[in-house]
Amino acid sequence: MFNPINVAWLVGTAGFFWLALYLLLRTRQRSTLIKVSLIALLSMTVYFARDVVCSSLSDPAIYALIQRATMWSAYLPLAAWVHVCALVKRQVISGEGEQSEGEQSEDEQSEGEQSEGAAQPRHPRLHTPLPILFTYAATLIIIIISTATPLIVDYGAPTAIQGALLQLPLGPLYPLNIIFNGALTGIAIAYLWQALRRMRHQQQPQQTLLYREVRLIAAGAALFLIGALWLPTAYLFELGAAWGSLALISGLAIVGYAIAQFGLLLEGQNARRDFIYSFTGIIILHTIYLSVLGLAGILTPTIALLTMLLVTLTHSLFDVGRDWLDRLFFTPEEQRARTEARTYATALGTAPVATATLPRVPNAPDDDPTPSRSHTPITGQLTNPDSAPDNTFKHHTRRAITALKSPPKLAESPLLSLPLITARLHTEQRDDNRLNRAAVLRELLREYIHALRPTDDEATPISDAWRYYNVLYYPYVREISRKGALGEIRQLERARQRQGRTRPDDLEQVLNWLVSVEDATFYKWQRQASDTIAASLWEDNVQAQ
């Protein structure tokens, strides 16, 4: 009932299905690279699942129907992998991560307040090159030929081989299948080779992890090429398919894993530890379920396939299911808190890394790794005008400031990978992990906000000199929102009346000032204050590098 080919197909089906779910759930943005990778992984899941189901069929008509309906899954994954490799090459050459244009800043989202300047900076879209369009066109043509005609395989007369195992007779154009597989895989490897050459010449330290993943993709593509050529050749000349299946699955597994890591690295996440952790957990679960079915004597390839798919789906989507269930038992505020806690737990399994979307200063001095602890207010002019922060860096700084009152959100900030954070960890002899990096970033941002406080104590706390300090300190350090300030004001007024005082104290004056400022003016001052902090943070980061 079970043979090495069956086992390989089962492993391939469950493995690629889990990898697709992992990539879908772990990535925060759906870039083109991620979307195409998901198409490839899910197509491979269909391809291997088809072979598992067909291996136990004895009805030629049903066998031919399933083969015809799923023949696309033998070609679409290869075209998608070529597209992925082209995107990897384009990513390496451009050095710019694709951003989701629909993403908006979360500044004051819980309170319905949105800063006009908090929208995420947009990046140019990466247009699909003509070779990829031709690849998809050729794939569509061969899918139509192989599905609608008997030129590649003949669906009319499945024959039995090796006992009851069915097989479709080959058509006159079947060698085209071998040529197609070899050509597309060769194109994919050529794209990867160009990417590797470019990365090797650039020799940028922040690309070390990306370079390793691209090399891994290339190694998997080579194994994939062997399997993609071996299987149709073995089918044509009636050779053994075991080694070809092993090479194909191994190559695809390596490519899929490396693509997942590559996509997450572009988002600033080194998810190697979380990947191994999740993969180990799903293997243990599969082993337990299949062992129970085997002991019960009801384990067949089809039952094993359905069980593995169901286990992978339910356990991968466990947190999503809990979010749905939370709607029945918890208030909206509690739902957000529970979802945020689960996201926070997942984020702790990854390590923050520098990304192409977070600018780094080339040829920065490397003298003293100890950052300066004194942050004085600056006017926006840096020592080196050429190293001023761009809009992306300012955006990340604004997001981090608004996340001061939410550690789970702060723990996902791209700023965690700054050399300034690394230097502070080294100076204070803390372990280098996401928790400590978030704590250091929180301390740094609070220091920068305090640095905005005017040194003239005689000035009234609601004067123009205090506005930048007030619009950041009270909402994000004291955690008093503009709406919450109304309640604070009423409590302070009652306390003042009980004490017989007529003049409001400084806090009451500031809170009254906060609620009286127009929204547009308030958010403009917040943006200007956070941009000032971004400039100071950038300058200190240059010194840390």
pLDDT tens per residue across span 438-468 = 999 999 999 999 998 887 665 677 777 888 8
pLDDT at 297 > cutoff 70: yes
Determine the pLDDT at residue 380.
31
- Looking at residue 504, its amino acid is P
pLDDT at 309 > cutoff 90: yes
Average pLDDT over residues 65-84: 90
pLDDT at 277 > cutoff 60: yes
> Could you report the per-residue pLDDT of 313-334, keeping only the tens digit for each?
999 998 888 889 999 999 988 8
Q: Of 96-100, 230-234, 411-415, give the range with the top mean pLDDT.
A: 411-415
Determine the pLDDT at residue 418.
87
- pLDDT band for position 52 (cuts 50, 70, 90): confident
Determine the pLDDT at residue 326.
92
- pLDDT band for position 430 (cuts 50, 70, 90): confident
Report CA-CA distances (Å) from 455 to 237, 461, 469: 85, 11, 11
Lowest mean pLDDT among 42-46, 97-101, 216-220: 97-101
Contact 260, 254 (CB under 8 A): no
Report CA-CA distances (Å) from 203 to 92, 212, 362, 418: 12, 12, 12, 19
Contact 6, 52 (CB under 8 A): yes
* Distance separating alpha carbons of residues 210 and 198, to the nearest angstrom: 12
CA angle, 256 then 260 then 262, to 5°: 115
Query: What's the token pair of residue 167?
Result: 């097989």
Measured from the Cβ of residue 62, the count of other Cβ atoms closer than 10 Å reads 14
Determine the pLDDT at residue 17.
93
Query: What's the token pair of residue 528?
Result: 């200007």
Contact 9, 52 (CB under 8 A): yes
Give the single-character DSSP code of 172.
Answer: T
pLDDT at 12 > cutoff 70: yes
- pTM of the entire predicted model: 0.75
Residues of the chain with pLDDT > 90, as a percent, come to 17
Determine the pLDDT at residue 236.
65
Lowest mean pLDDT among 57-66, 72-81, 198-207: 198-207
**Cβ-proximal residues to 45 (8 Å cutoff; 6+ apart), any chain:** 13, 16, 17, 20
Q: Locate tokens 């082209």: which residue?
A: 86
Measured from the Cβ of residue 77, the count of other Cβ atoms closer than 10 Å reads 24
pLDDT at 243 > cutoff 80: no
Domain boundaries, the chain: 4-98+131-323, 358-545
Lowest mean pLDDT among 52-61, 444-453, 468-477: 52-61
* Distance separating alpha carbons of residues 21 and 315, to the nearest angstrom: 10
Element (H, E) at 55: none
Helical residues (DSSP H) of 376-505, grouped into ranges: 391-402, 407-410, 419-428, 434-451, 467-472, 482-499
Lowest mean pLDDT among 223-232, 390-399, 413-422: 223-232
Contact 271, 350 (CB under 8 A): yes
* Distance separating alpha carbons of residues 340 and 90, to the nearest angstrom: 34
In 445-507, which ranges are E strands?
none
Determine the pLDDT at residue 340.
85
Query: In the predicted model, what is the mean pLDDT of the chain?
Result: 78
Closest CA to 241 of 249, 232, 250: 232
Report CA-CA distances (Å) from 72 to 43, 143, 218, 249: 8, 6, 25, 18
Dihedral pair phi/psi, residue 159, rounded to 5°: -110, 150
Q: Looking at the DSSP assignment, which residues form a beta bridge with residue 165?
A: 161
pLDDT at 374 > cutoff 60: no
64 vs 360, which has greater pLDDT? 64
> Could you report the per-residue pLDDT of 244-264, keeping only the tens digit for each?
677 777 877 787 788 888 877
- pLDDT band for position 357 (cuts 50, 70, 90): very low
Dihedral pair phi/psi, residue 351, rounded to 5°: -110, 135
Pairing of β 351-352 and β 165-167: unpaired
* Distance separating alpha carbons of residues 391 and 121, to the nearest angstrom: 6
Lowest mean pLDDT among 106-115, 218-227, 348-357, 403-412: 106-115
* Distance separating alpha carbons of residues 166 and 306, to the nearest angstrom: 21
Determine the pLDDT at residue 107.
42
Whether domain 4-98+131-323 has CATH 1.20.1070: the reply is yes
Contact 353, 268 (CB under 8 A): yes
* Distance separating alpha carbons of residues 11 and 286, to the nearest angstrom: 10
Dihedral pair phi/psi, residue 503, rounded to 5°: -95, 125
> Could you report the per-residue pLDDT of 114-148, keeping only the tens digit for each?
443 444 444 444 466 788 999 999 999 999 999 99
Closest CA to 485 of 503, 462, 465, 502: 462
Angle, helices 76-94/130-148, rounded to nearest 10 degrees: 170
Determine the pLDDT at residue 239.
65
Lowest mean pLDDT among 57-61, 149-153, 204-208, 210-214: 204-208
Give the single-character DSSP code of 416.
Answer: G
Contact 193, 86 (CB under 8 A): no
In 436-517, which ranges are E strands?
none
> Could you report the per-residue pLDDT of 154-168, keeping only the tens digit for each?
888 776 655 557 778
pLDDT at 104 > cutoff 50: no
Spell out the SS3 assignment of 85-134: HHHHHHHHHHCCCCCCCCCCCCCCHHHCCCCCCCCCCCCCCCCCCHHHHH
Angle, helices 318-329/301-316, rounded to nearest 10 degrees: 50
Average pLDDT over residues 89-104: 55
pLDDT at 102 > cutoff 50: no
Judged on CB neighbours under 10 Å (0-12, 13-18, 19+), 33 is buried
Closest CA to 45 of 24, 14, 70: 14
Contact 185, 248 (CB under 8 A): no
pLDDT at 213 > cutoff 90: no
Measured from the Cβ of residue 110, the count of other Cβ atoms closer than 10 Å reads 12
Lowest mean pLDDT among 49-53, 158-162, 180-184: 158-162
Give the single-character DSSP code of 311.
Answer: H
Q: Looking at the DSSP assignment, which residues form a beta bridge with residue 270?
A: 351
Angle, helices 76-94/242-266, rounded to nearest 10 degrees: 40
Contact 269, 350 (CB under 8 A): yes
109 vs 477, which has greater pLDDT? 477
Query: What's the token pair of residue 358?
Result: 């977070």
Determine the pLDDT at residue 70.
93
